[in-house]
Structure 1
Amino acid sequence: MIDRAHPNLSVSRQCHLLDVSRASVYRRPASVSADDLRLMELIDRQYLARPFYGSRRMAAWLATQGFPVNRKRVQRLMRLMGLVAIYQRPNTSKAAPEHAKHPYLLGGLTIDRANQV
């Protein structure tokens, strides 16, 4: 949508009007290397078989397959693919049944002056 050869509007002004960063116009995103594509393919195949593998376990598995890679690289590739390990997270929204629930005493009160409550 940015026209670099526009006679009246500069690239900076066009970016401002479209609410786009100028850096995204000037700098082209780097393409993914062939090594990363191969690792992404392996990660995807293993993720489909074992979706509970996180970056640590995936990096260890890749090392057993002959691809010793850093865990941060695996994190980056999994983030790029949108993969997140599936595991049971703590359920912090439920109240413990043995705890007493106290009533809210200010429910019907209209507070209309300072230091009333």
Structure 2
Amino acid sequence: MDKVMIERLWKSLKYECVYWRELKTGSELQSALAWWFNFYNNRRPHTTFGGCKSMEIYHKRAPYPRGGGPD
């Protein structure tokens, strides 16, 4: 089940960013990916999160208690 999220991310990246551009160099690809991940995390609403953006959800998470993350 955890593989579904990453598969969806890569599909979105390919269809929303890579396939629409004629990227000729590695630096063009790097710039396009940087732009897209910024867009994906900060401006793109996600139906999974009820229309919220990824970073809104990330910053609303309660911090883990002393001792670190989930076990």
> Which of the pair is proportionally richer in helix?
2
TM-score w.r.t. the length of structure 2 is 0.27
Q: What TM-score results when the alignment is normalised by the length of structure 1?
A: 0.19
Larger Rg: 1
